[in-house]
Amino acid sequence: MTLVGGAVSGFGKPLTRIETPIPGLVVFELPVHGDTRGWFKENWQREKMVAAGLPDFGPVQNNISFNDAVGTTRGIHAEPWDKWVSTASGRIFGAWVDLREGPSFGAVFTTELDPSRAIFVPRGVGNSYQTLEPDTAYAYLVNDHWSPDAAYSFLNLADETVAIEWPIPLEQVEVSAKDREHPRLADVTRILPKKTLVVGAGGQLGRALQEEFGEAGHLEYASRAELDLAQADLAGARRWRDYGVIVNAGAYTAVDLAETPDGRQDAWAANVTGVAALARIAAANGIVLVHVSSDYVYDGTLDRPYREDDALCPLGVYGQTKAAGDAIVSTVPRHYIIRTSWVIGDGKNFVRTMASLAERGVDPAVVDDQVGRLTFTAEIARGIRHLLDSEAEYGTYNLTGSGEPTSWADIARQVFELGGHDPARVKGVTTDEYFASATGPVAPRPRNSVLDLAKIEAAGFTSETASESLSRYLAASSA
């Protein structure tokens, strides 16, 4: 198809995706339909274009810049949102420069756009153009509203490093005074990735996530004191459009206390009401929500490992709140539900209790009719990072330690043996026997907590065996 004086003179081009050297910057050839009277095109058609590889970027605003003269030149501007750029009439020479922090910083791509060609410009890629025909209507969809609090970046049109070959030399065209004053590439403010927020950063998993992800300008860790999910103005607590990921590492986990009136209320507040607040924010702002679930969403009666698509059937209040939270998070378009079991972190836990008993000469009675796998918080954090970095398919993933399932009594014996103590000192008892003398409420436990790991392994993540993690954990604790 060709254009003559802004009019289309050829038709029939199929919808086609064309990659560029800049990651995420993608050109699309657009079908244009018409005859001697004029033409028609679907400038943005979500279903077809997403199927063709366009990110489902959720535009909220449509802008048009009309340019009278040939040679009008604007840019180079990088905003903290995605853009779908096209022309409704006329023709432009477009130039895009990657201004994002990372290995592709400074990469350049140029091409011409007419009504039959559009381009998706990801957040942080500098955008500029020069009109090649009079009466050019330059249109762009964006997925955020302009804000004075947002982070912008600019590059000088004449920067010698990127050396854009403008069809009409810049000294011969009209450029705004503001655009002429933009910095050279060496002085550009680089656009950082969207922020990752870890909620519940003060807990065992939160601390493991801090260890895994480290410190960087786009990483933010918030304890409950710093971000209360129950606060009335949560939607205004952050400029949420600047966030790409929220990891919910906080939860109410006192399974027995949850069976009391006060505990039940607290469990529902943290595991359901708070999760619902996060889910609303994530869905409204296109954020990836990572949520950690539990084996307690099952009743433990299956005679095989539980798969992600098995029906939820919780036994107690804690399991009910976790199941409700899972159902809420599953409605968020971009979500990962991490279902795990028997979590061990850097605080008070079963492994440390057994090690202490062994050292003090106490011979414990430990439950031997519940079967599962230990999962260390470092492995959960590593698995979450893998799913995010690999951009795995959204959904629910089981994530526990690997290896042969064991009972709690088996684990206690391993702890004794690894500490140089006689494992025979551990006596196995049934769950009913163990809790027979309990004076307070006792939550029902699933007897089978073994989770099938095939799905996350197919996504490229292999967890360490629970026994290997246990050995390393005890060695680190005793160092």
Q: Could you tell me which of 60, 42, 62 has the C-alpha nearest to residue 52? A: 42
CB 412 within 8 A of CB 471: no
Residue 66's Cβ-side half-sphere holds a number of Cα atoms within 13 Å equal to: 2
Given 77, 152, 218, 394, the catalytic residue: 77
Structure tokens at 463: 């967890």
Identity of the residue numbered 392: A
Could you count the other beta carbons within 10 Å of the beta carbon of residue 193? 16
Does the annotation mark 77 as catalytic?
yes
Which is it for strands 243-248 and 288-294: parallel, antiparallel or unpaired? parallel
Strand partners, 89: 137
Q: Write down the residue that tokens 């801090």 correspond to.
A: 210
Residue 450, phi then psi, degrees to nearest 5: -80, 125
Peptide bond into 76 cis (omega under 30): yes
- Cα-trace Rg, the chain: 28
Q: Could you tell me which of 243, 396, 375, 266 has the C-alpha nearest to residue 328? A: 396
Q: What is the DSSP letter of 388?
A: H
Strand partners, 194: none
CB 451 within 8 A of CB 371: no
Structure tokens at 154: 């600019």
CB 345 within 8 A of CB 293: no
Longest Cα–Cα distance in the chain? 95
Residue 205's Cβ-side half-sphere holds a number of Cα atoms within 13 Å equal to: 27
20, 21, 25, 30 alpha-carbon torsion, rounded to 10°: -10
Does the annotation mark 140 as catalytic?
yes
- Give counts: helices (H), strands (E), the chain: 12, 27
Given 129, 138, 140, 473, the catalytic residue: 140
Give 94's contacts (C-beta < 8 A, 6+ positions apart).
85, 110, 111, 112, 113, 119, 127, 128, 129
For 6, counting Cβ atoms within 10 Å of its Cβ (0-12 exposed, 13-18 middle, 19+ buried), the class is: middle
Catalytic residues: 77, 140
